[in-house]
Structure 1
């Protein structure tokens, strides 16, 4: 992914927080993120609803020759585990006063379209009491799950209200 440089002195930019990628969670099961050590900007939404930066080099890895791989839980993993593992809401912002190009590589892991999605067969998962989609009786495929997430996010497939004159 390439987030190009932006002139920070533009009058149309909000100087408080400039967003490169808005708040979202990933739809798949896992995301592997590879990013340069010198390019901060990734933030996660904490349980107390505040934004916290994610360190590219967590403590103890500052001198590693390769940057660590960030592993992110996605919505499908949350679905599979009936909410035991929660997907992470995150965003990418311009670090204070910086306007450099940002590059990263994300690998989004998602099952084949025809695979039926159901909770992991575990007592720990089965005993969880949530209002998760997993509580529904009907079967859903990976493709159906993805289409539902896209519809929820973008309104795809929802009936449009008639135009008014």
Structure 2
């Protein structure tokens, strides 16, 4: 097995009831990884491997449906936030070439006390197992994400529930992605996912079915991230970078095209979002740690989300 190229953290250390030093060490390692590289791998995260495997099988069943069937779930007024987004619709922020992927978005199923009405999920009736499997995966990923956000809050010297109460009612999205085999007539500039940064607070990425993820290092080289069984990949999104005034880095990453034209790929990123009104204005403590100047604007999570959805072609 190829060794992982990014730091590997163990969530059991954070949840260790009897050893506070392990918890402190985890918080420090998490913050340092996100400040230095913007990425780390996580083990003992609580997401069942059997559920991940079943979800990928379910995803394959959906994306194998005829295009006309899938397009029934592409609802324009949802701006790609629920249901199906067809192949070539999305592009990276600074790229004119479309990404070589199609995907499905779903949000939380359980109602919250939050006054904002989130879009209802769509479910493909042609694949009846889709709803129970993906809903179960969403809940397990959200439990893990809540713990990681508590650790982020502690690293930033905020109350432990600073993020978790927000994400419990946030606009978090599970994206199920299919990267089909790359056709001979694909636009030469197109990649499976062109270089980009994530919009949200943090992203949890279930191990993909094949390699391809790479992240941009400060020296300009691209670092491949291994697809390692049992690991979840975690990275900083732009919202957390803004709030921390750049202390935690939202690192540019991409998914490169395969060497074989017959190769297909599935992945399932979980984009953790806060409530819409969450203030992304950089924390004063982070401004002090990053040189004393505010580097990011005062704006809400909703304002930033809508701006980015327009930039990537979904709104």
Give the structure-1-normalised TM-score. 0.70
Cα displacement (A) at 1:154 = 5.1
What is the deviation of 1:94?
2.2
* Contact in 1 for aligned 2:282/2:296 (Cα 8 Å): no
SS of the residue 2:192 aligns to:
strand
Q: Could you say which structure has the higher helix fraction?
A: 2
TM-score of the aligned structures, taking structure 2 as reference length: 0.39
* Structure 1 counterpart SS, 2:219: coil
Is 1:114 the counterpart of 2:285 in the alignment? no
- Which of 231, 247, 268 aligns to 1:105? It is 268
- Partner Cα distance (1:40, 1:49) in 2: 20
Unaligned residue ranges in structure 1 (runs of 5+): 58-65, 158-165
Mind listing any 5+ residue stretches in structure 2 that lack a counterpart? 1-176
Output one character per residue of 1:94-114: Cα deviation in whole Å (capped at 9) or x when no partner: 233353210111100111112
Counterpart-to-counterpart distance in 2, 1:156 and 1:39: 26
Cα RMSD after superposing both structures: 2.7
Deviates more, 1:71-80 or 1:141-150: 141-150
Report if aligned partners of 2:280, 2:300 keep a CA contact under 8 Å in 1. Answer: yes
Residues 77, 85 of structure 1: 8 Å contact kept? yes
1:99–1:92 CA distance, 2 compared to 1 (3 A): farther
Counterpart contact for 1:114–1:141, Cα < 8 Å: yes
User: Per-residue deviation at 1:72?
Assistant: 1.0
Bigger fraction of residues in strand = 1
Counting matched residue pairs gives 137
Q: Which residue pairs with 1:42 in the alignment?
A: 213
Match for 1:6 among 178, 182, 190? 182
2:180 is the counterpart of 1:19: no
Relative to structure 1, is the Cα distance of residues 34 and 12 closer, same or farther in structure 2, using a 3 angstrom cutoff?
Answer: closer
Aligned 1:123-162 pairs, distance under 5 A: 125-127=286-288, 128-129=290-291, 130=293, 132-134=295-297, 139-150=298-309, 153=311
